[in-house]
Homo-oligomer: A and B are copies of this chain.
Amino acid sequence: MSETMKQIVLASRPNGVPTPANFRLEEAPLPIPAEGEVLVRVEYMSLDPYMRGRMDDAKSYAANIPVDSKMEGGSVGKIIASNADGFEIGDFVMGSFGWATHSVATAVGLAKIDPHAAPITYSLGVLGMPGFTGWYGLSELGKPKSGETLVVAAATGPVGSMVGQLAKSRGLHTVGIAGGPTKCKIAVEHFGFDVCLDHHAYATASELRKAIKEAAPQGIDIYFENVGGKVLEAVMPLMNQHGRIPVCGMISWYNEGGLGADAVERTLTAPKIWRTILVNFLSVNGFIISNHWNRMGDFHKEVGPMIANGTVKVQEDITIGLENAPDAFIKLLTGGNIGKAIIKVI
């Protein structure tokens, strides 16, 4: 066992899209697990859009990461030392281990993973937080009905692809939106969307709106909101009466703190939004999946077999090396990855 570990800390708060200078790779002494704790060697680390919010000062779900502290995030790893009952050396566990090669953790924050049931990386994507977010938001807030039309952006991402595949399996007409022809091809051919539109091909929200209108001739019943910005503006006027908008994220606004003057210019004005909500009797619901962990069992029960029988497909984008996490994260925020972004921590 080496006596040091590596970790990546927040070096400075980003202004807009993060740059490599906002991160710093550090060595630190290997922590020793106290009573009730385990020491984990991280194997795979998840990269998720929400992490961008944690880098800011603005109020969000959770406390922000202090400058010079370790970047946070979920990971899977193997226990290499244990002072906690019920956890053995060699057990695979998922937890909030941060951007690091090693971490100590208490039993409370650990979930055991069976490495024989599915690849352990699935716990970070299709069977983990992102897949669960898509399942919960669609099922509980989207309330899909056969014959309806669903639109979701980031269609090849771990949330969007889950939403699209579940909706399709429930008989909905599914329209994905993604950045670039490659992603759109994957959305249709791999994930089974009925249509996928490349938002890069449309300069303005109103051009994108025209294309969505053609792809969704019956209007939109569910817009699963995970990007904001141009897509949201394009979609809102196309919502059918009694439409549902689960809101789980707005990646397109994360890099501007949601406040940029530019954002005001190019998005629907506030009165327009509220008027649309009112006259179409829309139901708009913000949610974060961590408030609904109690439903994880239901999610696994439904989606586990769908992965096994091929109804739900998986796409992972694995980058090798902790030191490459900042670049991979920047790529994620600018749409450069395809599929669930994961770091293989070596």
Please, which residues of chain B bring their CB within 8 A of the CB of A269?
259, 263-264, 267, 269-270
B264 and A278 contact, CB distance less than 8 A: no
Binds B, one of A66-74, A243-251, A327-335, A338-346: A243-251
- Looking at the assembled complex, report how far the CB atom of A235 sits from the nearest CB atom of chain B, in whole angstroms: 12
B277 and A258 contact, CB distance less than 8 A: no
CB nearest neighbor in B for A276: B286
Among B61, B272, B285, the residue within 8 A (CB) of A258 is: B272
A32 interface residue (CB < 8 Å to B):
no
Q: Give how many A residues have a beta carbon under 8 Å from the other chain's beta carbons.
A: 40
A60 and B274 contact, CB distance less than 8 A: no
Among B59, B264, B284, B285, the residue within 8 A (CB) of A270 is: B264
Please, which residues of chain B bring their CB within 8 A of the CB of A280?
286
Are A281 and B288 also in contact (CB < 8 A) when A253-B275, A275-B250 are? yes
Complex Cα distance, B270 from A267, in Å, reads 6
Please, which residues of chain B bring their CB within 8 A of the CB of A283?
283-286
Q: Report A281-300 residues with CB < 8 Å from chain B CB.
A: 281-288, 291
Are A249 and B278 also in contact (CB < 8 A) when A284-B283, A284-B285, A285-B284 are? yes
A268 interface residue (CB < 8 Å to B):
yes
A232 interface residue (CB < 8 Å to B):
yes
State the number of copies, please. Answer: 2
Complex Cα distance, B232 from A228, in Å, reads 21
A320 interface residue (CB < 8 Å to B):
no
A225 interface residue (CB < 8 Å to B):
yes
CB nearest neighbor in B for A252: B271
Among B228, B279, B281, the residue within 8 A (CB) of A274 is: B228
A273 interface residue (CB < 8 Å to B):
yes
- Looking at the assembled complex, report how far the CB atom of A262 sits from the nearest CB atom of chain B, in whole angstroms: 10
B250 and A271 contact, CB distance less than 8 A: yes
- Looking at the assembled complex, report how far the CB atom of A144 sits from the nearest CB atom of chain B, in whole angstroms: 18
A250, A253, A263, A278 interface centre (most CB from chain B within 10 Å) = A278
Please, which residues of chain B bring their CB within 8 A of the CB of A60?
279
CB nearest neighbor in B for A263: B271
Please, which residues of chain B bring their CB within 8 A of the CB of A248?
278
Are A274 and B250 also in contact (CB < 8 A) when A60-B279, A269-B267, A283-B284 are? yes
Complex Cα distance, B274 from A259, in Å, reads 11
- Looking at the assembled complex, report how far the CB atom of A183 sits from the nearest CB atom of chain B, in whole angstroms: 24
Please, which residues of chain B bring their CB within 8 A of the CB of A259?
269, 271-272
Among B59, B253, B282, B286, the residue within 8 A (CB) of A271 is: B253
Please, which residues of chain B bring their CB within 8 A of the CB of A263?
269-271
Complex Cα distance, B270 from A259, in Å, reads 9
Please, which residues of chain B bring their CB within 8 A of the CB of A275?
250, 253, 258
CB nearest neighbor in B for A229: B271
Please, which residues of chain B bring their CB within 8 A of the CB of A277?
247, 284-286
Interface residues of A (CB under 8 A from B): 59-61, 225, 228, 232-233, 247-250, 253, 256, 258-260, 263-264, 267-275, 277-288, 291
Q: Which 6 A-B pairs have the closest CB atoms?
A: A258-B271, A267-B270, A284-B284, A277-B286, A278-B286, A258-B275
Known: A277-B284, A280-B286. 7 other contacts (CB 8 A): A61-B279, A248-B278, A264-B270, A269-B270, A273-B273, A277-B285, A281-B286
